[in-house]
Structure formats: structure tokens, C-alpha cells
Amino acid sequence: MISLLDLYITFLKISSVTFGGGYAMLPILHKELVERKKWVDTDDLLNYYAIGQCTPGPIAINTSTLIGYQKRKLPGAIAATAGYVTPSFIIIIIIASVLQDISHLEIVNNAFGGIRVAVPALIIMAIAKLWKSSIKDGEGFLIFLGSFAISIFLNLSPIYVIIGAIILGLIMKRGEVPSKSCEIKSENSEKISQTQKKD
Amino acid sequence: MSILFELFFEFFKAGLFSVGGGLATLPFLYEMSYKYMWLAAEIIPDLIAISESTPGALGVNAATYVGWNAAGLPGATAATLGLVTPSVIIMLFVARSYDTFLQKKYIQDIFYAIRPAVIGLIAVVAWNLLKISLSSENVNSNVSLSNILSMSDIVSYLISILDIKAVILFGIIMLVMRKIEIHPLYYILGSALIGIIFKF
């Protein structure tokens, strides 16, 4: 049986080498959990990860919780999640407290002046990457436009946009036959095979 | 006490309604900055940059940062716990039927509409960030939209509202991004360096 400490340490390790959020995480998860630890097989991992993408909350946290739960029920879920959160918590607190002391320096202000220009560019790049898999047809594009316009002009809480989208999805797709294979899953399996080729 | 509750509650909401990863939590940060004193909208770009260039989940990094700035260690703990609690609760329900979860029709239907909506919300974040980082700090009051008569008026109007150095850097970054794929961290470090050299 896998110990809670092992779960905690493993997810702490995965988190501390994953830069840039959930999307960078999949190849690292594969290497650690499938190849090294052999806790899950590739198909299971793709399933867990896809569920993490379709459920609320950070993808990495959802995936860790789910794998932790499969191994050791609730204590396992908490151990894996705590492991994933720990490096963020320590590193961010160190950076935030150092920044508090040096934020008045001109050089720091100038550096952040440059960084502030890069941040929107990075987000636009992330949107471009998600675009093809997120917006599949004309209706999808209209939902995108509606969500953008509503939140820019009405200053509405994102919660209402999300709830609206849920209702819209259920109404629009009413009566259609569900697809058997999960599209997100096959997109993700491509990601793993691409990184394996690079290695 | 109340600030800790606010942090926990606001990040709990963000965790519960942000579908599709860390970027989806960013719209909620803007909402918090409108509602509460403990998060200033001006620091959001800095906190996104820090969250993207440190290890771990983007949303968790952002929650820890906001919580720490608002109320120290208890604040960081409250915000981070708030963000991950919905995930843990939801996963307990999902775990029982995880092998059929993705085949459920209502999950597919909901996800079909949520993905474009989330992209729309993130695009608003990008728009807000662009407005702040590209607009000039000292707007020239002599030129305004109402007295534009010619092409050169348009140009001088744009020059007066835009921070030209920032526009050039933004253009260069977008061009580089289209050509080569490197990790976001390098863009952040590179533009920090440019910021220092050219005094942004």
C-alpha cells in the first residue's frame, strides 16, 4: 500500500518542477506516476487529468486530489493536495516578503514596468493555444463573444457568466447524442507522445 | 477575523467557478479588487507574472500571494485553503464514478459551452492588462478625440494616450512569440531586463 507520506512527497516533487500551471504538468505527471512509480497507467492518468480539466478549480489540484483519493481515500486526497500546495506556499511567501522590502527601489520598479508589458502578451498567447480546442464552431464563437461583451460592458461577476454558460450548454445540446470518445482525452494523449518523442 | 473569512470565501468562490485551469481564476482577482481594499488592481499584473514564473499551480500561487499581502501568514493560509477546498469536495463525488464521468452527456454539454465562455473571461483580463500597461501615465490634455481633423491629429492623439516604449516592447514580444516557442519565464525575465535598461 502507498503511504500518505509517499503521496505527499511525490506530489510535492511534481509541483516543485512544474512551472506555468496545469498544462505543463501532464508530461511530468506521466514520467513520475506512470513510468517511475507505476501507480497508474497512461489511460488512467489521461482520464484523471481530463476530469481535472472539466471540473472547477486548478487542474493540478483536481488531478492530485483524484489520484490521492484513488490510492488512499480522503486522507490520500488531502495528502496529495497538501503536497502539491506546499512548494507554492513557501516560495510565494518568500518572494512576497522580499518584494515588500525592495519594492521602493527604482530598479525593481523598472523591471516590473517591463514585466507588466509581457504579462498581457503571455495571456494572449495562452488564449491562442486554447482557442482551437475550446471554440469548435460558430455557436462556440458566439458564446465567446457574449461572455467577453457581457463582462466588459456590464461589469458582471464571472460567476454569472459561468452559470449562464452551463444553462446554455444544457439547452443547446439537448436531444443530441453524446460522443463516446472524450475529445479532451485524445488531445492530451497527443501531448504526452510529443514530449516523449523529444526525450 | 473578518478579512480572513473574506479571503477564504472569495477564493472558495474562485475555486468553485473557475473551470479549465489557473488562468480561469484571474477574472475573479479583478472582481475581488473591485470589492475589497485588501487587493489593489495595480498589483494584479505583478502577481500574475510572479505566479507564472514560480513552480506550482498558477491559481494556488496567486491565492497565496494575495492572502499574504492582505493578512500575512494567516491570510495566505485562508486564501489557499479557500481555493483548494471546492476541488477536494467535488473530487470526492467525482471519484466514485470517475471511469464514466467524461462519458456523461450533461458533463459534455456543460463543458462545450463553458470552454468558450472561459476564453471570453480570460480575454477580458488580457484587455484590462493591456489598457493599463500600454496607456501613458501622463495624458496630454491638449489633444482630445473631439478635435481630431486629420491623419496627423489621430497620430498625435494616439501618441498622447499610448506609452510608446511599452507599445514597441509589446509588439516585439508578440512577434517573437509567433516565431519561436519558449517558456513564459524567459519572456518575463527578458522584459524585466529591458525594463531596467530602458527605464520603464
Nearest to B59 among A48, A58, A133 (CB): A58
Cβ contact A53:B21 at 8 Å:
yes
CA distance A66 to B171: 41
Which triple of cell numbers denotes residue A64? 492530485
Contact A135 B28 (CB under 8 A): no
The residue with cell 516590473 is A112
Higher pLDDT, B142 or B198: B198
Element (H, E) at B21: none
Q: Is A42 on the interface with B (CB under 8 A)?
A: no
Condensed to tens digits (0 to 9), the pLDDT of residues B6-15 reads 999 999 999 9
**Interface contacts (A, B; CB < 8 Å):** 376
pLDDT band of B139, cuts 50, 70, 90: low
pLDDT at B117 over 90: yes
Nearest to A120 among B133, B196, B199 (CB): B133
pLDDT band of B147, cuts 50, 70, 90: low
CA distance B128 to B41: 10
Pick out chain A residues at pLDDT < 50.
Answer: none
What ranges do the domains of chain A cover?
A: 4-102, 106-198
CA distance B98 to A98: 43
Q: How far is CA B155 from CA A17, B148, B152, B166, in A?
A: 47, 10, 5, 16
Average pLDDT, chain B: 89
Condensed to tens digits (0 to 9), the pLDDT of residues A42-64 reads 988 998 999 998 899 999 999 99
Nearest to B101 among A51, A111, A176 (CB): A51
CA distance B52 to A198: 24
> What pLDDT does B98 receive?
80
> What pLDDT does B190 receive?
93
Cβ partners under 8 Å of residue B51, min gap 6: A92, B22, B58, B61, B62, B65
Sign, Cα dihedral of B79, B80, B83, B86? negative
Contact A56 B132 (CB under 8 A): no
pLDDT band of B21, cuts 50, 70, 90: confident
Contact B55 A112 (CB under 8 A): no
Q: Is B176 on the interface with A (CB under 8 A)?
A: no
Condensed to tens digits (0 to 9), the pLDDT of residues B58-114 reads 999 999 999 999 999 999 999 999 999 999 999 989 988 888 888 888 888 898 999
pLDDT band of B144, cuts 50, 70, 90: low
Q: Is B20 on the interface with A (CB under 8 A)?
A: yes
For A94-103, b/e burial (b = at least 16 CB within 10 A) is ebbeebeeee
Residue A36, classified by CB atoms within 10 Å of its CB into exposed (0-12), middle (13-18) or buried (19+), is: exposed
> Could you tell me which of A117, A103, A108 has the C-alpha nearest to residue B191?
A117
Mutation pick from B31, B42, B88 vs chain A, by most beta carbons of A within 10 Å, is: B88
> Could you tell me which of A59, A180, A119, A3 has the C-alpha nearest to residue B192?
A119
Beta strands in chain A (DSSP E): none
Rounded (10°) angle between helices A158-172 and B2-17: 20
Which triple of cell numbers denotes residue B24? 480561469
Contact B19 A141 (CB under 8 A): no
How do the residues of chain B divide into helix, strand and coil, expressed in percent and rounded to 5?
A: 80, 0, 20
Q: Is B157 on the interface with A (CB under 8 A)?
A: no
Tally DSSP H helices, then E strands, for chain B: 9, 0
Nearest to B76 among A17, A89, A130 (CB): A89
DSSP state of B19: B
